[in-house]
Structure formats: C-alpha cells, structure tokens
Amino acid sequence: MTNLAANLVATADRLPDKVGIKLDGLEVTWSALHRAAAAVAGQLRAAGVEPGDRVSLILPNVPAYPVTFYGTLLAGAVVVPMNPLLKAGEIRYFYEDSGAKVSFVWPDFAEEAGKAAAETGTRIVVCGPMGPADGQLDTDELAAEPVAEPVERADDDTAVILYTSGTTGKPKGAELTHFNLHRNAERSASNIMEITEDDVIMGCLPLFHVFGLTCGLNTSVQRGSTLSLIPRFDPAKAIEVLGRDRVTIFQGVPTMYAAILNHPDADRADTSTLRTCASGGSAMPEAVMTAFEKQFHCQILEGYGLSETSPVASFNMPDAPTKPGTIGRAIPGCEMKLVDVDGNDTPPGEIGEIAIRGENIMKGYWNRPEATREAIPDGWFRSGDLATVDDEGYFTIVDRKKDLIIRGGLNVYPREVEEVLYSHPDVLEAAVVGVPDDLMGEEIGAAVALRDGATATLDDVQQYVKERLAAYKYPRRLWQVDALPKGPTGKILRREVRQGA
C-alpha cells in the first residue's frame, strides 16, 4: 500500500507525543494530528466522498491545512490545493475543471469560494484552526466513524492535482502520484537537507505551493520533525520564530531571504540553531546568498523544480561543493539533460532546454492527454527553461522559453493578466511583462494604450484588474503608450516592450 498518508500513521505510532505542527502557542502532536485527520476522513466518507474524488483546500498555513490534507488522503481522495488569494471567477474554473466535490475553506476566503460554489455545486466546508467547523457539517457526518488507516492506493494513483498555467490556454492540473510525492519528500529529507526528527523546519512557504507542500509538510510528516507555521510570510515574524522555536531548517524563495536580511531586526535575530537553508522558486542573487550566510552563519542550498516534478529535480547538495548561481545537480532518482527544439541532446557548452526524467515526474495533466504528450513526448519532461550544464553536472538557468513572470516565487502568466486588461472598456491594447525588482525579483508591469476619448486613468485600470485577479497577479507598474510594438502579422511583440517606453 502506497497511500502517502501512511507516513502520518507511522509517525504518529512512533512519536505520538512529539509536537509535529506548531503555530505560535498552538501545538499539535503527531497523534493529535492523526486523530484529527482520521475524523476528517470519516466525515468525507459520510458526505459521499469516494476514493479518487477531488477535494479542494483554500487555506493559509494553519494546522487545519495538514489536518484536511492528510484527512483527504486517508479517505483515498485527491487533494486540489488552491491559492487563497484567488477570486471567485478563478476559483470557479478550478472547481469545474477538477470536479471538486468538497472544498475546505478558511473563513476569510469563504465569500469568494461561495460565489464559485454556487455555480459548480461544490460543497464549501468552513474551517477553524484545526479543521472543519462544526456548524458546517451534518450531525451524521460529525458522528461518522473515523478513518484511521489509509484507504489502499496504488503507486500511480493520483494524490494531488496542482494547477499550473501555460503561456496559452487555461491552467492545467499536474497529477502527482502517491509515489511521486513520497519519494520526492524522501529525497529532499535525506539527500538534500539531511532532516531528522530532531529538526525544526520553518513553515513560511505556502503549503498550497509544491515547494512548501513537499519539502515542508510532507518531509516533516515523514521524518517526524516539527513544522512551525507562519500563515503569511512577514520578515519580522520569521525572525521571531527563528529564535523562539530554535529553527534548524529554513526553506524559502529568494525574496524571503532578502526581506529577512534587510529587516531592521536582522542584527538581533537569534539564528544559533539554524543549520541549513533551501532556496528555490527563482534565481537566488549571489550577493543575497553570500550576505545571508555571513550574517546568520548557515549554508544556503539552491535548487530547482516545477509543479510537474513534485517539485525537486536538482539541488546543490551538502555532500559536494555548492556553486552559487547554479541550480546544482540532478537529485538521486532523477535525470536531467539539455535538448534542442527537436529533442536532440545539445553539445557540451551549448544552451538547451532542460528535460527531466525519473521518479518525480507527474503522471500527466488532468484530463489533458494532448498537453501531456506535448510536455512528455518521449519520457522526458520538457521544462520550458533554458540552461547550460558544466562538466560536473551543475546546471545554470540562462533564460525561460515561456513568458513566465516569477514574482516572489509565484508564477504569473502575462496572458491571463492581459485578458483582464483587455476587458476594461477604455483599454485598446495591453502587454504584460516582468520588470526587475530588488525585493520581488520581478514585478508585474503593463504597457497600456487607451482608446481615444477614454476617461479612465491608469490608476483606474490598475484598480479594475486588482479587483479581478489574485493580489500577486495584478500589475504594480503601468505606463501609457500610444501603441505597442508589433510584428508583420500584427502580433504584439512582448519582447520589445520596455518599461516607460
């Protein structure tokens, strides 16, 4: 039996009284987490959720997240993590596409989720700090027999559907199997961060994101280490938790490291227990890495991965020299190489697209066989990222094939933002591009051409988009142009768009 939830059962048996999940003064032991998850699994079963059905989570980093995540898995259902910042229209698409029967939602996000559910029939269950609120469940469901032992699942049964966008079309759901997630957490714990039950991991990466889900939550559950949660990243809070909880492992995106390093309280931070830091999501500036390591006397290991790779594919690992500026070498159980547009291996020293094969590769895109064949045409997953590789197997990202913008470690796709811009009645043309930013890595920029006679200002346009997209997606920088650069067919040439020009 491969059900990922078996790790929780085993850890609860082995370390019943050890604190597994912590949120400030709220401490949850492994046995208490198992009991709460088993209760959720029983309630789902009583509500008619069967193995293979989809259950959505719209929750911040609170204990309710691991409770409902592992409760869903215990019941044999499939978890669909969602960003809590999504608006009703975005949520509706995910509900419809995944066919989510139930959605566990934090109270702050219940209004947007409720609007979406009214059109899809998804059942909304509002959660408190430890899971479903009593008022949202029927008496029969509350009294349901807990499901303490995981429902049997096969290695290649889907455990999680993580939605990832392409530069064209709607977001696609990457199907990650129980085996994918178990092995990637195992690799992250043993081969990269050398985690044991004595470690305390900082849980400031969002658990709806594959980096935080695998390397934070699933690794903690597998090893029995303590995961100290921060609902929403704040550098002052992170500095407080580092010292208060004697954190040994910090996992974050580069903007988190920069924010902590540049915070006024950085000099007073107690990082005496901090041993290893893992960075991913976007490129870590070498200056930030060097300064952070010097300031806090720790080692930063930079790596690379995608939702489709569970996520870890390569890392600078502790058993070999780290090479700042690189994404390290392929992890055990995974192969990486560079290919040209025809799928042929690129000659040494040349730039190619990263192709990945191994135990971490997704099963495919949910209900999208053509997209799956395009992404994995020959057993090798095409990442869309261009890189070089040296003679020791260290990869360096040099560019992205896609027009992806990475803002603070979160992916933003220009077309989605442009579609909202174009829906504004006064917008004639728009192009969305990434603008370099010291804090976020990249910021969302938009060149906008307004119609003749337009009454809207750029501030009005920005507010219009802000109301319709998640907070991390709307453009912070807008500039007006008479017209956008175009190619011979009239297609807007995004690559030629320049800020303020």
Task: Indicate whether 103 pLDDT > 90.
Answer: yes
Domain 4-15+25-175 fold is Rossmann fold (3.40.50)
CATH superfamily of 405-496: ANL, C-terminal domain (3.30.300.30)
When pLDDT is averaged across residues 213-239 and rounded to a whole number, the result is: 96
- The first and second tokens of residue 427, run together, are 């917008």
When pLDDT is averaged across residues 76-102 and rounded to a whole number, the result is: 96
CATH number of 181-332+381-400: 3.40.50.740, 3.40.50.12780, 3.30.70.100, 3.30.70.20?
3.40.50.12780
When pLDDT is averaged across residues 115-125 and rounded to a whole number, the result is: 97
From first CA to last CA, the distance across the chain in angstroms is 59
CA dist 293 and 242 (Å) reads 15
Q: What band does 501 get if pLDDT is binned at 50, 70 and 90?
A: low
Nearest 5°: CA angle at 187, between 372 and 12?
105
Whether the Cβ atoms of residue 202 and residue 247 lie closer than 8 Å to each other: yes
User: Strand order of the sheet with strand 276-279?
Assistant: 26-29, 19-23, 226-229, 200-203, 249-252, 276-279, 299-305, 312-315, 329-330
When pLDDT is averaged across residues 82-93 and rounded to a whole number, the result is: 94
Phi, psi (deg, nearest 5) at residue 138:
-75, 155
Q: What band does 300 get if pLDDT is binned at 50, 70 and 90?
A: very high
pLDDT tens-digit map of 421-430: 988 989 888 8
pLDDT tens-digit map of 378-421: 999 999 888 899 999 999 987 666 677 889 988 787 878 888 89
Task: Indicate whether 354 pLDDT > 80.
Answer: yes
Q: Is 480 helix (H, G, I), strand (E, B) or coil?
A: strand
Q: What band does 281 get if pLDDT is binned at 50, 70 and 90?
A: confident
Closest C-alpha among 211, 306, 285, 305 to residue 250: 211
Burial of 315 (0-12, 13-18, 19+ CB in 10 A): buried
Average pLDDT for the chain? 92
Secondary structure of 67-104 in the HEC alphabet? HHHHHHHHCCCEEEECCCCCCHHHHHHHHHHHCCCEEE
Task: Indicate whether 495 pLDDT > 90.
Answer: no
Which residue intervals of the chain bear CATH 3.40.50.12780?
A: 4-15+25-175, 181-332+381-400
In single-letter form, the type of residue at position 434 comes to G
Task: Indicate whether 167 pLDDT > 60.
Answer: no
Task: Indicate whether 14 pLDDT > 60.
Answer: yes
Which residue intervals of the chain bear CATH 3.30.300.30?
A: 405-496
Closest C-alpha among 297, 216, 296, 218 to residue 253: 216
